[in-house]
Amino acid sequence: MTNTSTLYGDLSGVEFRSLFSNGKMDGCLVTQPNTLTTPYGSLVPQYEAEDMGRRTVKPIYFYKDGSLKSIALQSQTMLDTPVGSVPAELVTFHKSGSIKRVFPLDGKLSGFWGWKNEFALATELTFQSPLGTMSAKVIGLQFYESGALKSITLWPGQTLTIPTPMGEISIRKGLAFYESGAIRSFEPLTKIDIQTPLGTITSYDNEPNGIHGDINSVQLSEDGSIEALSTVDHAVEVSLSGANSELFRPGVKNNVCGDERKVSVPMKVRFDKRVVMFHDNPKFSFDMEHYRFAVMKMDKTTKEPLYSCAE
């Protein structure tokens, strides 16, 4: 074990460290109590696992200039953030020193410790957003370097009701903002009808991907117009030159449990100026001025996906 100096004070009990080419420390792991003095208060890096949910001691990471990149804290600590006081077990920073992400909990998911164990420890947070005061159990908050709120990631089962250009909508999973505060994307809780340049399309993603709320299935331009959506309810027929046409539609796959249940695979529809693109594939891009489009209701033979094969 060694001691080492940082921009935030000396660290003792350093068991592991790696160096950048300039000799500055990239990261390290400590096994003794230390206190780092930061603009957000005194932070104690994790040096031991207090319970089964945090068995592994997490390292501290630095940028090449020595500024703090991320730190796992020994115990949950209240931080003064741009949206108010938020509890944190893991914090990441922009190179400038401003907060990038805050995670109230930092558990290690495994066969013995799942997200439901972690959720049981989560508490409801009340914080400020461009849409006003919000309260929910959140997995994490992300910020722009300016301090503006970039995204909110919700725990499964948590919802928010927000005002959008399409009206008041209940959302799940996540909500993202432009730096100006305009809504960038959200994940609808239930199916919603959205007016698009092609007509009304019902938007819903039955299997939203990812574990963060930075990118969601309904994406808006900064002016509030629709930029992209996912649908399991509508197909779009594109009339090509002459009598030719091509149908773009949601897919179908087997349920993960291996039974006979079929589930829909959402179709992504993206709008960029006068161009529409299907399945996020540039080969399926069409100029809306030169083609005709017909939005068609799907003949539903699929069911909602099951995530527990005992259901």
Q: What is the pTM of this model?
A: 0.88
The residue type at 239 = S
pLDDT at 308: 47
Q: What string of DSSP letters covers 90-119?
A: EEEE-TTS-EEEEES------SSS-HHHHH
pLDDT at 254: 80
End-to-end CA distance of the chain: 51
Residue pair 181/82 in contact by the 8 Å Cβ criterion:
no
- Residue ranges per structural domain of the chain: 1-157
* Closest residue by Cα to residue 212 from 171, 167, 152, 148: 152
Residue pair 152/158 in contact by the 8 Å Cβ criterion:
no
Q: How far apart are CA 126 and CA 200, in angstroms?
A: 35
pLDDT at 304: 56
Structure-block tokens of residue 165: 């250009």
Place of tokens 């990471």: 61
For the chain (length 311 residues), average pLDDT per consecutive 10? 84 78 79 92 86 69 92 93 94 95 78 60 90 95 98 93 96 96 97 96 83 84 97 94 86 74 89 95 95 89 51 44
Place of tokens 């529809």: 269
Q: How far apart are CA 141 and CA 144, in angstroms?
A: 10
pLDDT tens-digit readout, 5-29: 889 999 999 887 776 666 677 888 8
Give the CA distances from residue 260 to residues 302, 303, 309, in Å, rounded to whole numbers and listed in that order: 10, 11, 12
Residue pair 57/47 in contact by the 8 Å Cβ criterion:
yes
Give the residue ranges of DSSP H helices in 73-222: 115-121
SS3 283: helix
Q: How far apart are CA 79 and CA 99, in angstroms?
A: 10
pLDDT at 258: 61
Structure-block tokens of residue 174: 């996540």
* Closest residue by Cα to residue 180 from 224, 127, 227, 130: 130
Phi, psi values for residue 310, rounded to 5°: -85, -10
pLDDT at 27: 85
